[in-house]
Amino acid sequence: MAITPSPSPKRNLVVNPQPVQIHDIRGRESDFTLDHDAFFPILPAPSTTEGKVDFDDETSITNDYYPKVTALLLHHVSGATRVVIFDHTIRRAGATARRAPRSTRTLNQTAKSVVQRIRRHCPDEADDLLAAGTRYRIINVWRSLNKGPVESSPLAFASSASFPHHLDQKWYYWSGMTPDERLLLECFDSESLRPAGESQVQGGRDAPLGFRGPADTARCRGAGEHRG
């Protein structure tokens, strides 16, 4: 008798919807930091946002936008000495969009995958970058591509400081986010691997979880290096 194998599962997760309260950070931007919350809102900064970028043109994104993201991270991430931009994602609303906005939470990086990324994008320097004493992070720079403020279904994100408390996770959104504002979302920080009491970061994980709404958005990810 022939046995028909069961189809492989399409996902390795189980969806378990839970009601959560999501708080607006508008007007409280200075209350949050990368080290404590793993996210950091940046209000308009002309020196890093001016100039045109064609987000439908891969060459323009790489040549015109990547340098702006690098400058932004070096300016706002304390102690950063080097930035390597390794990918970007454009999400647009609409049935014909190549990549639509996400409507579920995500956890972007694990310690193993971060090491693999460093070895992939910096092969000649990986051993030195991964050596003890070098702090490295993966940071997601998120922005809206809307012409005006985001008015519906904004990005939601959680504070990593609340992650050990699964029943009391703190979720946030940034109302009316404009095209010249930026949100840094820390996906990984090597400080989290240090023994308890030695780390500068708070919480049991390093990446806030996010929901992406229907707004057109751009995400650019980079690895940052610290010395000391």
Domain range for 28: 22-227
Within-domain flag for 142 = yes
Within-domain flag for 3 = no
Q: For 108-133, what is each residue's pLDDT tens digit? A: 677 888 889 889 988 998 898 888 67
pLDDT of residue 202: 43
pLDDT of residue 10: 66
Within-domain flag for 14 = no
What is the domain-level CATH number for residue 217? Answer: 2.60.120
Within-domain flag for 134 = yes
**Cβ-proximal residues to 2 (8 Å cutoff; 6+ apart), any chain:** none
- Residue numbers in the chain where pLDDT is lower than 70: 1-13, 45-51, 94-108, 132, 163-167, 194-220, 222-228
Within-domain flag for 15 = no
pLDDT of residue 146: 85
| Calpha distance 48→97 (Å, rounded) | 28
Within-domain flag for 208 = yes
pLDDT of residue 73: 92
pLDDT of residue 70: 92
Beta pairing, strands 182-189 & 134-144: antiparallel
